[in-house]
Chain A
Amino acid sequence: MLEIIDLHARAEGTEILRGINLTVKAGEVHAIMGPNGSGKSTLAHVLAGREDYEVTQGKVTYDGHDLLELDIEERAALGLFMAYQYPVEIPGISNKYFLKAAINAIRKYKEQPLIKTSEFLDLLKTNLAKLGMDKSMMERSVNEGFSGGEKKRNEVLQMAMLQPKLAVLDETDSGLDIDALKIVADGVNALRSPDRAFVVVTHYQRLLDYIVPDFVHVLAGGRIVRSGDKTLATVLEAEGYAFLEPAGTPA
């Protein structure tokens, strides 16, 4: 589904990604772990198409498309979803309006008929219930005045509504208490399916207790320095990232 080959990227003249290689197949959950500044969030943003990052080398194939050639919204329409570490506040647009606009934009791209209001409302109601969210939140402006937990839950709600093929979760666990974390993880787990893949970016192993990955990769100095199964996360938890030092990655 996703194949990243030798990806290099930089921001404001500094090279952050220095040759990432990663293959993600449908149905898999990959966790990307690593210390602060290792390039985890950059990787997520490059996949989503953020223009502040410049890809200097490498290739990314997503579902048969050359991902790097696609516009941000095309990527979204083709089923790539990013859950943000810091979801953006948009005063003046209600969550409901925003979600409907997104669903319809994607349908339009796929030349599908627009969603019926009743269908949309039913879908919204179901998903809100699953995530334990109050429907009054949908009348409020996008993320405005939301607590950290509410914002993250809202990201998962959007994911549930948009039904992506590949979801990239950028530090979805940051700023969450244990109860909120469980709810968010349950929401993600409910979406796991054989034709959907996840890339979960996280600093801590904690989240992986709830979203159990098939593969764990350790990112350091802009490269994947180690890959393994879920036990690698436990090793990291016990030993920290210190073991990376002897590997001699350029700081």
Chain B
Amino acid sequence: MSSETALLEEYSKREYKHGFVTDIEADALPPGLNEEVVRTISAKKNEPQWLLDWRLKAFRHWQTLQEPTWPHVHYPPIDYQSMIYYSAPKQKPLLESLDQVDPKLLETYEKLGIPIEEQKALAGVAVDAVFDSVSIATTYKKTLEDAGVIFCPFSEAVQRYPELVQKYLGSVVPAADNFFAALNSAVFSDGSFCYIPEGVRCPLELSTYFRINAQNTGQFERTLIVAEKGAYVSYLEGCTAPKRDENQLHAAVVELVAMDDAQIKYSTVQNWYPGDEDGKGGIYNFVTKRGACRGVNSKISWTQVETGSAITWKYPSVILQGDNSVGEFYSVAVTANRQQADTGTKMIHLGKNTKSTIISKGISAGFGQNSYRGLVKIQKNATNARNFSQCDSLLIGDKCGAHTFPYIEVRNTTSQVEHEASTSKVGEDQIYYCRQRGIPTEDAVNMIVNGFCKEVYQELPMEFAVEARKLLSISLEGSVG
């Protein structure tokens, strides 16, 4: 059994012992999506009427929407009726022997040393694990409760803190926001809920670990983080999935709310299964992430390292509503083999003296296609708004592509917006120089790539930065001959 499966199992066992979840059925709904499915999901979770109504409204709206075609990615049409929209894990993990685990995935974890979850648990990081569609366990509950921090599975929050959920759910990403957000709003199964009360600095790094396991299952989790006045939280998100020949859809929604003087730091290391060398299989990662800096002096910072998924469609954004609020986006996106990524951010400046920084590093190798797509919008009343954007692309090999689509819309004279972009390659002369000094090619490439990504790594919590670096070197393995 892989150590990471073992760990999950361990969590599950602990969970049952503590009685958090009492009624886990080993069930999955049949494939297909209709109002009945939405009602069933809601009923299984024993949800209040308002939430069911909210889901149904989202579902009805979703039916009127078209899948977006503007991203610079290509994939065959998705059959939304052949997908399973709800699957709860059995008490035993599905993977029982190593034979069932993709050897490449195992190799990956071997190369990573110990699994990330264990490492985090040792380091004292509170973890919420979402296995397929359902939250498995939340650790360090006690420490957090003592601090007044609420950190629990979303479904639990619906039962225990319905007022909070109702107040903030959909307040940043409305149910009708876009095709995938509407779909998520209709069928979301679980996710994490996090609430930091006024003046509290969250004593632990919070983390959610997502894993898609079941076949033919879409994963639709929802994360909601609220930081009240003066609160601080750092939140980490990691994801993996086993190798499957067919593509799987992951359409998550993340909403962040920061009130006066509050700070939210959200870091992601996304390592969904990217498909094989020929582009077979892999996750479609179509995610809506958005934060609202509601209060004055609030700050939301997104850091992402995107190495996985067959297709990534994701624009973690910040609405800078409060005066003096700050939005940041730091991103490393790697596309190797046949991977495609269309990712970037939106910074919407509404308040005075608002500031945003965008640092995006795209790395393309093999046949990978990597696009940065971003919007910087300065509204009329956003006096003295500042934005700095830098989008750099690194190409490894001559079959890949790097693209930049920045939108800049300015409606205020006192604002300053700067966008810079550059494209470079890992030069043969650089590699030659390294090798002449005794550094093997692979290490030289890693060195150059790491140097290229340094500004983003600096933003990651330490243990995540280490993991990100390793992941990157693994996903680029063999891309330079």
Direct A/B contact, Cβ within 8 angstroms? no
